[in-house]
Amino acid sequence: MSPLRLSRRLLAASLLLTSTLLPGAEPPLQINSVAYPPLSYSDGNPTRRGLMLDLTELVWHQLGWPMVPRFYPFKRALELTKAEPNSCLVPTSRTPEREQSFKWIGPLYRGAYTLLAVPNRVPLLANLDEAQRYRIGVMRGSALQSELERRGISPIVEATPTALFKLLNQGSIDLWATHDIVGHHEARLNQKQLKVALRLHEIDSYIACNLAVGDETIRQLQQKAEEVLKSRAYQQVQARYGEMGSGKERPR
């Protein structure tokens, strides 16, 4: 085959792929993220992005899109995604307060919100009312911060799980309100033990996209996400990050 003919075929194939995978010629969506290991890592390691970012990358690749996440403190990432028409946030939870602010893809992972404590410092708690007598730390801008404040609790806030783990370990807070997999991951990294003082409730992790993203794009991304959840690749991603706490099963 002549170089000219080959070039024309490659161009035609490229145009077909673009028209098939990018509905309405919408460009690839920018991913905003946060340091929230093991759901998302910000260290730039391409072989270990984090469980939720790995799953998102599988979905993006289904549409032929590259994925180069940008990392911010969570509250900043949330506000940027609301403001930027061509962006999505990973990971985030779908709460009533956020429901109308984004278009949602998922859920991709199920875990639980917990109050973690250093063993022997805090007893097991029956409910959140019993927790109010203790100093509680939580990530700034998170759904858990809003949940605690709705219950009349004024938590101590920090920008990262690492900072909150340090406060808990040194005794500056008594309880750490966090996603179970994130808390236990931080404890394993530091070779410490934490106990679940109170399990609050299950929580699903989603991709949240700006409201300007087209409905057809969201529909295709949701379809691809559901295909990923049924695939062997989903199990491989989970296995890559070891013990998954409460999230070993697919979201229902």
Tokens 């100093």, located at residue: 135
pLDDT confidence bin for 252, thresholds 50/70/90: low
3-state class (DSSP) for residue 239: helix
Contact between 225 and 219 under an 8 Å Cβ cutoff? The reply is no
State yes or no: pLDDT of 10 exceeds 90. Answer: no
Average pLDDT over residues 165-170: 97
Q: Which of 14-23, 66-75, 113-122 has the lowest mean pLDDT?
A: 14-23
- Quick check: 141 and 36 in contact, CB under 8 A? no
Instruction: Count the Cβ atoms, other than its own, within 10 Å of residue 220.
Output: 19
Phi, psi of 129 (to 5 degrees): -60, -40
Q: Determine the pLDDT at residue 1.
A: 46
Domain spanning 112-202: CATH superfamily: Periplasmic binding protein-like II (3.40.190.10)
pLDDT of residue 18: 37
CA angle 198/200/204 to nearest 5° reads 135
List phi, psi (to 5°) of 31. Answer: -100, 125
Three-state SS at 174: coil
Using H for helix, E for strand and C for coil, what is the string for 189-202?
HCCCCCEEEEEEEE
Which superfamily, per CATH, for 30-111+203-247?
Answer: Periplasmic binding protein-like II (3.40.190.10)
- Token code pair at residue 63: 């549409």
At 118, the pLDDT band (50, 70, 90 cuts) reads: very high
pLDDT of residue 77: 97
* Annotated domain spans of the chain: 30-111+203-247, 112-202
Two domains, one topology: 30-111+203-247 and 112-202: yes
- Cα–Cα distances in Å, from 24 out to 119, 133, 156? 55, 54, 45
DSSP 178: E
The DSSP call for residue 132 is: T
User: In residues, how long is the chain?
Assistant: 252
How many other C-beta atoms are found inside a 10 Å radius of the C-beta of residue 115?
A: 27
Q: What's the distance, Cα to Cα, between the start and end of the chain in Å?
A: 51
Percent of all residues in the chain with a pLDDT value above 70, rounded to a whole number: 85
Within 13 A of 53's CA, how many CA atoms are on the CB side?
A: 28
* pTM of the model as a whole: 0.82
Q: Specify the pLDDT at position 181.
A: 94
> At 26, is the pLDDT very low, low, confident or very high (cuts 50, 70, 90)?
low
**Distance between CA atoms of residues 238 and 60, nearest Å:** 18
User: Which tens digit of pLDDT belongs to each residue from 71-89?
Assistant: 999 999 999 999 999 999 9
